[in-house]
Amino acid sequence: MSKLVLRNVSRTFGSFSAVEDFNLALEEGELVSLLGPSGCGKTTTLRMIAGFMAPTAGTIELDGEVISSPGSSLPPEKRQMSMIFQSYAIWPNMTVAENVGFGLTVRKLKGDEVRSRVDEILEVVQLGALRDRYPAELSGGQQQRVALARSIVVKPSVLLLDEPLSNLDANLREEMRFEIRRLHDEFRITTVYVTHDQAEAMVTSDRIAVMNRGRVEQVDAPYALYGRPKTRFVAGFIGRTNFIEGKANGDEVHFGGFSVSRQSLHSEGALPQDVLVSIRPQSIHMFKQDPGAGSGRRCVQASVQRRAYVGEYWDYHVTLPGTAQPLRVTARPQEVFQVNEPVWIEIDTTQLTVIA
Amino acid sequence: MAAAPSAFGQWWRNLDKSAWVWVLAIVVLVLLVVNPLLRLLIVSFQQPDTGAYTLANYAAAYGRSRYVDALVNSLILGVSAASLCLVFGLPLAWAVSRTDMPGKNLVWISILGTFIIPPYLGAVGWILLAGPNAGWLNRLVVELTGMEKGPFNIYSMTGLVLVTACYSFPYVFVFTKSALDLVSSEMEDAANILGSGQLRTTLSITLPLVLPAILAAYILVFLEAIALFGSPALLALPGRFHVVTTQLWQFFEYPPKVGVAAAYSMPLLCITVFLFWLQRRVTRRKGYVSLTGKGGERRPIALGGWKWAMLGYCLAVCTLSFFMPMVVTCQAAFAKAWGRGFSLDNLTLDNLYFTLFENTLTRNATLNTFTYAGSAALIAIALALCVAYIVNRQLVGRHAGDLLSFLTMAPFVIPGIVLAIGFYAAYTRPPLALYGSAWILILAFATRFLPIAYANSNAAIRSINPELEDAVRILGGTRFTAIRRVVAPLLNRSLAGAFILVFIPGTRELSSAIFLSSINTQVLSVLLFDKSDEGNFEMLAAIGLIMVFITVVFILIGFRLMGRDFMLRRTAA
Ligand SMILES: Nc1ncnc2c1ncn2[C@@H]1O[C@H](COP(=O)(O)OP(=O)(O)OP(=O)(O)O)[C@@H](O)[C@H]1O
Ligand SMILES: [Mg+2]
C-alpha cells in the first residue's frame, strides 16, 4: 500500500518553475531521499508535502486522501506530520524537555504521559541528562538530536527532513547518518529526506529520488542508482564515472578500440544508432602486460596521461587510441603505473550502462 | 449535487482559520489611516450643512490675506528654525564625534534632556525667561544696565524660531553624529597627505560625506517646525500673529469650520508628503554612501586650545535649550510665586501636591494621560505587529503586502494636526460617533505613532527565523499557538521597548489631542495649554515637570530592557 503519493506535482514562482511534474510514491515505512544540486527544488517539494505551500499543479495524497491540490491544501497543523528543519528550529525559549514535549501537549496528552514519553525518547537519542537545559546551552549535534526527538515523539504519519546534517562538522555528520538510519529502523516512520550529499542519501535511504532542475531524473535503491544510472545527469551526479560514445552496427556495438555484443548491454528500450554508455572508474582494470587471449580477458592498449595518488586509491587518467576523452580508472594503491607508460586495460563489459 | 457540500466541507477543513484576524487587522488599518484621510479630502469639498460638493471651503480658506500670511509665516518659521538647528546641531555633532573636546558626556546628557522636554514645556520655560517685562532675562538686563525696559520679547517670530530650534536641533545632532561616526580617519588622512589642512579637509572631505544626513535632518526639522502646534500657540497667539497650525486651531473655535480647516490643511499635508519623499531620495542616493562602515580606524582630531572654545559653544547651546529653561521651570514649579525669585521662603511643594491630588481636573488629566497613552501604545503595537507579521510571512500577495506597509507607515508623513482634523471629520457623526469619548483620542494617538510601532515590530519579526513557527505548525499547533508560544516570548523584550517608544510620545502629544479632547477627556498636555491663558505659571510648570518625570521613568525602564542605544531606535522609523 502506498502511503504518500505525489502525482504530477508542479510549483511555479511567477514564470519560474521550481518543481515540474514530480511523481513519487512512498510505501508505508519507507525512507526516500530527495537528492540533487542546490536550487533543484528539494525544499520546495518538501514544503509542499508539509503543507506550507500549495502546488500550482498536481496533487499530494496521504493514505489515499488528497491533502494538497492547487485549489486548497490541508494546513500543516492538520497533517500529523513532523519535520526537521535545516536550522533545527529548536525554540530557544523552551527547555529540551519542553521542546520535545510540545507536540504531545498540542495533542492534548496528559502531563504525566507527556513526561514519560519525553523521557523515553530522550533516552533513545541519548539526551536524558540534558532534559532541563536550554537550547543555547547545547552543541550543534545535541540540538540536532533534540530536533529528531521532537519530531519522532509524536509518531508522525510522515517525517520530513530538510538537509538535517548540513550544519554539522564532517565526523558528526557521518555519525548522525547512521543515527538517523537507526531511528528509522526502530520506528519505521515513512520519511522523506532531503539532502544534496550523495553519501548521506546512500547511507540513510531505502530509495533515492535524484532531482535536477525541478524534475525527477530517477528513483531507485542506492545500489541500483549507482550501478544502473538511467540518465547522464544521474550517472555524473552519483559518484564519478566515464562516458563512452559508441555506434551500433548489426549485432555489435563499436566503441573506440573495443566492441561488445548488443545483448550484453543492459538496456531497457531498443538501442539507438548512437549509443552512450557509462562505466565506473573501478570497473576498469589495468595491466602492465597484455594478459593474452588465453587468459580469457579482452584488453585494449592505452597509455597513462595523468595520475594522482589520494591515499586510498590511485586515480589514473588513461587515453585510448581513437577516443578523445581520457578514461578515469581507480586502482589499488599497490598498482603503480608511470605517466606515459603503455598499459593494457580491461573494461568490465557487464558494468557498462546505457544512458538514455 | 452531492459533491457540493463535500467540496465546501473540504474547503472549510482546509481553510486557515487565522485568516479572519488578518482581515480584521486590515479593516482596522483602513479605519485608522485611510478613512480619516479620505474624509479629510471629502469634507474639504463639502458644504457643511447640505453636503453638496463645492469649492467654497477653499475660497474661504485662502480668501483672506491674514490666512495666506499665516502660511507664509509657517514657511519662515520652518526655514529659519531648521537653519538655526544646523547652527546649533552641526558643531555639536562634529565636536562630540570627531574631536578631543572635554566634557562630551555633559553635552550628551543635556542633549538627551532636550529630547525629553516636550517642546511646549520649553516654550513655557522661555516665557519665564524672556517674557516682556517680567521675564528673568529682561529683569537681569534692567538690573544691570538700568534700562527702562528689557530688550527681549519671546512673543515674536524671533522668539518662536529660537524656541522651536532649541527643541528640534537634537535631530540634526543625532543624524549628523551617526553619519560622522562612520567616516574613518583614513579617509581624512588621505586628504591630509595630499597637503590639505585640517579645516580644508573637514570642509571638503568630511562635510560632503555627511551632507545627505544633514540634508535629511534639515528636512525633518523643517517639517517638525511647520507641524508644531504647542510652541506657536503659546508664543504666536499672544504675539498676535498666526502660523498654519494656530490658524487651523482658530478655524476650530466654535462653531468649528471643519471644511475650511480641511481645505486649509492641504498645503501642510502636501509639503510634508513631498519633503519626506525628497528626504528618502536624498538618503538613498548611492553615490554618497562611500562611508566605510565600522571598519576604518578613527582618531579624534586634536583641537588644542580651541577645545575650550568648542566646549564653551556646546555648553552655550545646551544652556539655551536645556539648562536655563529647566532651571526657571523647576523654580516656578516649586515656587509660591515665581516672580519672587530664588529664595527659600518662596519654596513650596503645594503646586505639585495640588496638581497631582487636590485638583480633580489635573488629577483626572494625569490618569487619562496614562490610560490613553497606554491603550494607544497597546493598540498600535498589536496592529503594527499584525501587519509586520502579514507582510514578513507573506500571508498576502507581495503587492498587497507593500500596500499594507505603506499604509502603516503613512501616518509618519501626516502632521498630527492634520490627522486630528481627519479624525474629527471621520468620527464625529454616526455610525462611528467617537468624538467626545476617550476612544477618538486613543485611536488618534495609536494612528499617529503607528509608524514607530511598525518600524520596531518589523525589525523584531525579521529577527525570528520563520522555521521556528513552521516547526510549531507541523507539530500540530496553529499560527496562534506559534505566535503565543514562540513568537511572543521571543519578542517580549523588544515589544516592551516598542511599547515605551510609543507610550512616551503618547503622554506628551498635544497637536492631535487639542482638537479631539473634550471636557471629560482632557490630558496633561491639553490642560497645560488651556492653563496658559490664566497665567498660572507655577501650575503650568508643575504639570510640565510631572510629564518630564513620567518620560524619564519610562526611558530608564527602556534602558534597563533594551540597552543604551534604545532611544535611537525611535529615529529609525
Ligand atoms: N518563495 C520563492 N519565490 C521565488 N523563487 C523561489 C521561492 N522559493 C524557492 N524559489 C526558487 O526555487 C528554486 C528551488 O528552490 P529550493 O529551495 O526548493 O531549492 P533546494 O533544492 O532546496 O536548494 P538548496 O539545496 O540550496 O536548499 C530555487 O531556484 C529558488 O530560487
Ligand atoms: Mg533547500
| Cα distances (angstroms) measured from residue B98 to each of B187, B206, B210, B214 | 13, 10, 13, 16
For ligand 1, what atom is nearest to the CA of residue A214?
14
pLDDT value for A161: 93
C-alpha separations of A322 from A270, A274, A338, B567 in Å: 26, 16, 21, 77
Label residue B376 by pLDDT band (50, 70, 90).
Answer: very high
Interface residue B11 vs chain A (CB under 8 A): yes
- Please state the φ and ψ torsions of residue B153, each to the nearest 5 degrees: -140, 105
Task: Tell me which residue has its CA closest to atom 12 in ligand 1.
Answer: A18
Ligand at minimal distance from the CA of A35 is 1
Give the integer Cα–Cα distance in Å for A10 and A18. Answer: 8
**Domain spans of chain A, in order of start:** 4-236, 241-354
**Segment A251-260 mean pLDDT:** 77
A19: region left, alpha or beta (phi > 0 left; psi from -120 to 50 alpha): beta
Phi, psi (5° rounding) for residue A87? -90, 5
Would you state the pLDDT for residue A284? 87
Answer whether B18-45+370-522 and B71-241+243-292+314-348 agree in fold.
yes
B476 contacts A107? CB cut-off 8 A = yes
**Of residues A73, A89, A94, nearest to B465 (C-beta):** A89
pLDDT, position B401: 85
Q: pLDDT, tens digit, for every residue of B247-266?
A: 999 888 878 888 888 899 99
Closest CA to A183 of A160, A208, A149, A156: A149
DSSP code for A238: S
Residues B382-406: what's their mean pLDDT? Answer: 86
CA–CA separation, B332 and B548 (whole Å): 15
Find the Cα–Cα–Cα–Cα dihedral B264, B267, B269, B272, rounded to 10°: -150
Question: Is B478 near chain A, with CB under 8 Å?
Answer: yes
- B399 contact A CB<8A: no
Q: How confident is the model at residue B74 (pLDDT cuts 50, 70, 90)?
A: very high
Task: Please identify which residue in the block is written with the cell numbers 539532502.
Answer: A195
Contact A172, A145 (CB under 8 A): no
Nearest-CA distance A90 → chain B (Å): 7
Amino acid at B214: I
Residue A44 Cα: closest atom of ligand 1:
18
Please list the helix, strand and coil fractions of chain A in percent, rounded to the nearest 5, in that order: 30, 35, 35
Count of CB atoms situated within 10 Å of the CB of B9: 10
A18 CB near ligand 1 (under 6 Å): yes
Of B472, B499, B355, the closest CA to residue A99 belongs to B472
What CA–CA distance (Å, rounded) separates B230 from B512? 11
The predicted-structure confidence for B28-62, as pLDDT tens digits, reads as follows 999 999 999 999 999 899 887 777 888 888 988 88
Q: What are the cell numbers at B550?
A: 513620567
- Give the domain A4-236 fold: Rossmann fold (3.40.50)
Shortest-distance Cα residue to atom 5 of ligand 1: A13
Residue B393 confidence (pLDDT): 85
Number of H helices, E strands in chain B: 29, 0
Q: Which residue has the higher pLDDT, B1 or A264?
A: A264
CA B270 – CA B263 distance, rounded (Å): 12
**Alpha-carbon gap: A181 to the closest alpha carbon of chain B (Å):** 22
Among protein residues, the one whose CA lies closest to atom 17 of ligand 1: A43
**Which of the following CATH numbers is that of domain A241-354: 3.40.50.1100, 3.90.550.10, 3.40.50.970, 2.40.50.100?**
2.40.50.100
Separation of alpha carbons A27 and A192, rounded Å: 11
- pLDDT at position A42 is 92
Alpha carbon B404 to its chain's center: 22
Burial of B216 (0-12, 13-18, 19+ CB in 10 A): buried
Question: Does B489 contact chain A (CB < 8 Å)?
Answer: yes
The CATH number, out of the four listed (1.10.10.10, 1.10.3720.10, 3.90.1170.50, 3.20.20.70), of the domain defined by the range B18-45+370-522: 1.10.3720.10
Q: Is the peptide bond before B118 cis (omega within 30 degrees of 0)?
A: no
Q: Which residues contact B429 (CB under 8 A, 6 or more apart)?
A: none
Q: Which of residues 149-168 of A touch B (CB under 8 A)?
A: 150-151, 154, 160
pLDDT at A268: 63
Which ipTM score applies to this complex? 0.82
Chain B contact for A106 (CB, 8 A cutoff): yes
Q: For atom 24 of ligand 1, which residue has the closest CA?
A: A38
Rounded Cα–Cα distance for residues B420 and B440 (Å) = 9
Give the CA-trace dihedral at B172, B178, B182, B184, to 10 degrees: 60
pLDDT class for B3, splitting at 50, 70, 90? very low
Residue A119 CB contacts under 8 Å (≥ 6 apart), including other chains: A128, A131
Give the best-scoring range by mean pLDDT among A2-6, A332-336, B374-378.
B374-378
Band of the pLDDT at B210, cuts 50, 70, 90?
Answer: confident
Q: Which pLDDT value is given to residue B2? A: 38
Lowest mean pLDDT among A240-254, A255-269, B557-571: B557-571
Which of A16, A47, A48, A87 to mutate to test ligand 1, by most ligand atoms within 8 A of the CB atom?
A16
Indicate the domain borders of chain B: 18-45+370-522, 71-241+243-292+314-348
- pLDDT confidence band for A160 (50 / 70 / 90): very high
Residues B109, B170 contacting (CB under 8 angstroms): no
Q: In B, which residues are within 8 Å of A160 by CB distance?
A: 474
Angle formed by the axes of helices B258-284 and B416-427, to 10°?
A: 140
- Residue B18 CA to residue A97 CA, distance in Å, equals 28
Contact B131, B155 (CB under 8 A): yes
Residue A266 or residue A156, greater confidence = A156
Does the pLDDT of residue B559 top 50, yes or no?
A: yes
pLDDT, residue B1, reads 36
Q: What is the pLDDT of residues B441-458, one digit of tens each?
A: 999 999 999 998 998 888
Q: Taking the alpha carbons of B206, B211, B216, B219 in that order, is the dihedral positive or negative?
A: positive
Report how far residue A133's alpha carbon sits from residue B528's, in angstroms, rounded to the nearest whole number. 54
Could you tell me the three cell numbers for B188? 581624512
Highest mean pLDDT among A314-323, B385-394, B395-404: B385-394
Q: Which of the residue ranges A1-10, A193-202, B439-448, B503-512 would you say has the lowest mean pLDDT?
A: A1-10
- The domain covering B71-241+243-292+314-348 belongs, at the CATH homologous superfamily level, to MetI-like (1.10.3720.10)
If one compares B26 and B19, the residue with the highest pLDDT of the two is B26
Q: Give the one of A89, A93, A103 whose C-beta lies nearest to B476's C-beta.
A: A103
| Cα B525 from Cα B531, distance rounded (Å) | 10
Do β-strands A284-287 and A342-347 pair in parallel, antiparallel, or remain unpaired?
Answer: antiparallel
Q: Does any ligand 1 atom lie closer than 6 A to the CB of residue A38?
A: yes
B469 and B495 in contact (C-beta within 8 Å)?
Answer: no
The pLDDT, as a whole number, for residue A1 is: 42
C-alpha cell at A321: 587510441
Is a pLDDT exceeding 60 seen at residue A127?
A: yes
The pLDDT of residue A113: 93
Comparing CB atoms, the residue among B470, B485, B489 nearest residue A85 is B470
Closest by Cβ to A50, choosing from B11, B474, B477: B474
Region B383-396: what's the mean pLDDT? 88
User: How large is the greatest C-alpha to C-alpha distance in chain A, in angstroms?
Assistant: 78
Give me Rg for the CA atoms of chain B: 26
Share of chain A above pLDDT 90, in %: 37
Segments of B129-224 assigned E as strands? none
**Residue B341 CA neighbour count, 13 Å, CB half:** 5
The answer to whether residues A167 and A140 touch, using CB atoms and an 8 Å cutoff, is yes
